[in-house]
């Protein structure tokens, strides 16, 4: 049973890495970027190419995925995203779906439509037993890495001046500018960071979720579930939401496999109805 719990946590962590970039752009910048999955996919392909063509080891391919995706995010932010901040959410949805479509077809054109694979280093594959719990090495690696990441982000965005300036810029960009906050720079940095996280998530996720051109569409729903259930005003919200959903999904499927597909959706609906603003909504009466 504890093994199941561990698996659930690891699964939740993967959901979290993939979704946390989105909760940065969506939660902190209030920008609905459904193309998030496309950045994740991009990071995934970067990893595959880096490992297969350049022969980089997996551990080096991860930062490469982060940096390349962040750079791509930076460039795209400059070129096309910036005018989108001021548009309605519906426009943002349409715009970013358009980008996803382009990314799906583009990846298909460049990389082919079939699955891609990476080979993990030996020390990350397999599992060991710890007090009766079967611990997958790679899963443990993900838990540690993502836990640290979640912690750093929560601290960075809520406790630092960078975070409060960013939130100010999101609340009211016009007035923030008029009060000397460098809105464009903050947004560009944050967007790049969010994209980089997506890229990292994509890279980490290949092993467990696979990678093909439809990646960005296939998992979009999962990202959205995590971010919505977690609420958009904190990082810890999506974190705990991902954990909760991961554990519930894994445990549910283990205990009552007949209901497999229902569990995560039903749980989401129930959570959203009881906590419409997310698990840890900040400052609502």
Partner 1 sequence: MSEGSIEARVQRSLYAARRWHPAEIMFWLLAVAAFFLLPRQLLILNEIAILGLFAVSLDLILGYAGIVSLGHAAFFGFGAYAAGLFAKHASADPLAGLAVGMGAAGLLGLLTSPLILRGSDLTRLMVTLGVALILGELANSLGWLTGGADGLQGIMMGSVLGLFEFDIFGKVAYLYSLAVLFVLFVLARRIVGSPFGLSLRAIRDNPLRASASGVPLHWRLVAVYTLAAAYAGAAGALLAQTTQFVSLDVLAFHRSADLMLVLIIGGAGYLYGGLIGAVAFKLLQDVIASFTPQYWMFWIGLFLVLFVLGGRELIHGGIKAVVGRVARLGRRSPT
Partner 2 sequence: AQDAVKIGLILPMTGPFASTGRQIAAAANLYIQEKGATVAGKKIELILKDDTGTADVTRRIAQELIVNDKVTAIAGFGLTPLALATAPLATQAKTPMVVMAAATAIITERSPFVVRTSQVVPQIGAPFGTWIAKQGTKRVITIVSDYGPGHDVESSFSEAFKAGGGQVENIRVPLQNPDFSPFLQRVADAKPEALLVFVPSGVGAQFMKQFVERGLDKSGIKLIGTGDLTDDDILNGMGDIALGVITAQHYSASHDSPENKAFVEGFKKANPGMRPNFMAVGGYDGMHALYEGLKKTKGEGGEALVTAMKGMSWTSPRGPISIDPETRDIIQNVYIRKVERVNGELYNQEFETIPNVKDPTKAKK
Partner 3 sequence: MAELLTVERLSAGYGEAQVLFDIDLSLAEGRSLALLGRNGVGKTTLVNSIIGVTRRRGGRITLAGQDITAASPEQRAHAGIGWVPQERNIFKSLTVLENLTAVAKPGPWTTERVFSMFPRLAERKANLGNQLSGGEQQMLAIGRALMLNPKLLLLDEPTEGLAPIIVEELLRALKRLVREEGLSAIVIEQHARKILELTDEAIVLERGRVVFAAGSAELLADPSRLERHLGLAAA
In whole angstroms, the minimum distance from the beta carbon of 163 to partner 3 comes to 9
Residues 149-188 as x/- pattern, contact with partner 3 by CB under 8 A: ------------x--xx-xx-xxx-xxxxxxxxxx-----
C-alpha distances out from residue 62 to 43, 59, 176, 258, Å: 8, 6, 35, 37
165 binds, among partner 2, partner 3, partner 1, none (CB under 5 to 8 A by kind): partner 3
Give the residue from 264, 196, 214 showing the smallest Cα distance to 24. 196
Contacts of residue 173, defined as CB under 8 A and 6 or more positions apart, other chains included, come to 85, 86, 183
Rg (CA), the chain: 19
- Answer yes or no whether residue 78 interacts with partner 3 by CB under 8 A: no
Match 């504890």 to its residue by tokens: 2
Which of 208, 266, 269, 270 binds partner 2 (CB under 8 A)? It is 208
The answer to whether 166 and 190 are in contact (CB under 8 A) is yes
161 binds, among partner 2, partner 1, partner 3, none (CB under 5 to 8 A by kind): partner 3
Q: What phi and psi values does residue 85 have, to the nearest 5 degrees?
A: -55, -35
- Answer yes or no whether residue 91 interacts with partner 3 by CB under 8 A: no
Which of 56, 71, 94, 251 binds partner 2 (CB under 8 A)? It is 251
Residues 225-254 as x/- pattern, contact with partner 3 by CB under 8 A: --------x---------------------
- Answer yes or no whether residue 94 interacts with partner 1 by CB under 8 A: yes
Whole-number Å distance between alpha carbons of 153 and 234: 10
Which of 1, 2, 86, 102 binds partner 1 (CB under 8 A)? It is 102
- Answer yes or no whether residue 152 interacts with partner 1 by CB under 8 A: no
- Answer yes or no whether residue 87 interacts with partner 3 by CB under 8 A: no
The strand ranges marked E within the chain are 127-130, 133-136
């Amino acid at each position: 049973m504890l093994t199941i719990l561990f698996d659930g946590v690891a699964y939740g962590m993967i959901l979290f890495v993939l979704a946390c970039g989105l909760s940065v752009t969506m939660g902190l910048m209030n920008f609905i970027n459904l193309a998030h999955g496309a950045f994740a996919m991009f990071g995934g392909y970067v990893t595959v190419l880096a490992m297969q063509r350049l022969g980089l080891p997996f551990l080096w391919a991860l930062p490469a995925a982060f940096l390349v995706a962040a750079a791509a995010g930076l460039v795209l932010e400059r070129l096309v995203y910036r005018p989108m901040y001021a548009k309605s959410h519906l426009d943002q949805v349409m715009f970013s779906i358009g980008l996803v479509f382009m990314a799906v077809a583009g990846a298909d054109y460049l990389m082919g439509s079939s699955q891609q694979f990476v080979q993990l280093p030996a020390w990350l594959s397999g599992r060991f037993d710890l007090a009766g719990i079967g611990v997958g090495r790679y899963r443990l690696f993900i838990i540690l890495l993502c836990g640290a990441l979640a912690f750093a982000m929560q601290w960075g965005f809520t406790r630092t001046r960078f975070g409060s300036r960013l939130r100010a810029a999101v609340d009211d960009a016009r007035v923030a500018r008029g009060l000397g906050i460098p809105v464009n720079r903050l947004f560009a940095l944050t967007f790049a960071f969010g994209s980089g996280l997506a890229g990292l998530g994509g890279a980490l996720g290949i092993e467990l979720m696979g990678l093909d051109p439809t990646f960005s569409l296939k998992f979009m729903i999962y990202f959205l579930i995590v971010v919505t259930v977690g609420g958009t005003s904190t990082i810890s919200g999506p974190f705990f939401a991902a954990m909760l959903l991961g554990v519930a999904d894994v445990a549910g499927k283990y205990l009552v496999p007949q209901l497999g597909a229902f569990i995560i959706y039903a749980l989401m609906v129930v959570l959203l109805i009881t906590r419409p603003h997310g698990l840890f909504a900040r400052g609502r009466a």
